[in-house]
Amino acid sequence: MLNKLLMSCIDINSPYCPCLLSQTNHCTFCSHLKGELVCDCNWSGVCILYEKQWQQKKPRWTNDADSPVRLESDTEFIIKQKIAEHTYLLEIEVLPALAQSLAKCGSFIFMRRPSDQQFYHFPVGVMKVDGNNIQVVIEGAGPKSSRLFTDGNRQVLVRGPYFNGIFGQPWIDNVDNGKILLIAGGMGQPPAVPIARKLLTNGNSVKAILAPGKIGTVFIAAELAVLGIQVQEVTSMRQFGMHALAEILADPEACPELIVSAGPDSQHYGIIAAMQAAGVNLPMAATNNTTMCCGEGICGSCERLTRNNSRVRTCKVQADFSQFIQE
């Protein structure tokens, strides 16, 4: 039985805590560093207030606008595979320390052309890490991502690591020898690969339902099958994937302990509706699709409203996706 998920900050116990938010009294976790008088945190094994007091002031807290807040690699990328029109699998060699830190599922980076202004940065989930090389899948859909390929460019500035690409990550980390249903559609397929690897590492039995989504193709089925995952491909998640999910939820022998949804928010809410219709209440980890600009909790573009009427910065805060108000 998986425990109820308490909200926490993904950067606690990492080299990136305390962060810039502690300087402005907007820490997502420590009540004192929110300007309150009473200590009222969900103890996670570290006191952020003391860490802020006793740690040396970090270089990224300086007022130098060009000082990097995380690791950066000014490097080149190669196109490993054209997956669909405007959708490519890229391989990028980055700093060893950056590659190593991105091995955890849910990790993502920000990318832009080195010559572009900082506001061109856009977030991308990491699909695979092999030595100092990382693999990501880019859909050149908007002005930021499509510009990466303009005029035959192969230069890229990579900034990271960031970790909050999946809500409910503690469930993925802690479930073992269980039965897991992985549902991935469209551009949710790349983050599904490291999730599947992590679940298998813990001895879980994983079944996957995959749909092509808007990009029009399923491209991870063979890789998941090689790992030993039972894969079911459907042509439409909405028409056929949800029907397959309903059949699984209705069968006590097949019903999973954890559902992982990798895809758009509409898919996440469709799964929640299917569980409600079946009268079951399972924990669901879900990919984080919130719009992000800075990744540090500063700009507020990733804020979402929860059912208890609080706003959380989703680039930082681990939460149960089902607690977010549907927008």
Q: In this predicted model, what pLDDT tens digit does every residue of 187-216 receive, in sequence order? A: 999 999 999 999 999 999 999 999 999 999
State in words which class domain 166-291+309-323 has.
Answer: alpha beta
Q: According to the model, what pLDDT value does residue 186 have? A: 97
Token pair of 138, please? 């880019």
Q: According to the model, what pLDDT value does residue 188 have? A: 97
**Cβ atoms of 226 and 203 closer than 8 Å:** no
Q: Is this model's pTM higher than 0.75 or not?
A: yes
Closest CA relative to residue 185, chosen from 105, 126, 268: 268
Q: CATH 2.40.30.10 spans which residues of the chain? A: 71-162
Token pair of 251, please? 């069968």
Does 55 have pLDDT greater than 80? no
- Where residue 60 falls among pLDDT bands split at 50, 70, 90? low
Token pair of 74, please? 């000014």
pLDDT in tens, 248-276: 999 999 999 999 999 999 999 999 999 99
Q: According to the model, what pLDDT value does residue 41 have? A: 85
pLDDT in tens, 269-324: 999 999 999 999 999 999 999 999 999 999 999 999 999 999 999 999 999 999 99
- Where residue 7 falls among pLDDT bands split at 50, 70, 90? confident
Tell me if residue 239 falls in helix, strand or coil: helix
CA-CA-CA-CA torsion sign (302, 306, 312, 318): negative
- Where residue 62 falls among pLDDT bands split at 50, 70, 90? low
Number of C-beta neighbours around residue 74 at 10 A: 11
Fold of 71-162: Elongation Factor Tu (Ef-tu); domain 3 (2.40.30)
What phi, psi does 136 have (nearest 5°)?
-135, 160
Residues of the chain by 3-state class (helix, strand, coil), percent to 5: 30, 25, 45
Region label for 14, one of left (φ > 0), alpha (ψ between -120 and 50) or beta (otherwise): beta
Q: CATH 3.40.50.80 spans which residues of the chain? A: 166-291+309-323
Quick one: average pLDDT of 154-168? 97
Q: How far is CA 104 from CA 44, 170, 173, 192, 237, in A?
A: 19, 12, 10, 12, 27
Classify strands 155-162 and 311-313 as parallel, antiparallel or unpaired.
unpaired
Token pair of 10, please? 């993904």
Does 61 have pLDDT greater than 60? no
Residue 166 DSSP symbol:
E
Distance CA 306, CA 297 (A): 17
Return the half-sphere exposure (C-beta side, CA atoms, 13 A cut-off) of residue 280.
Answer: 21
Distance CA 200, CA 228 (A): 9
Quick one: average pLDDT of 140-165? 95
- Where residue 65 falls among pLDDT bands split at 50, 70, 90? low
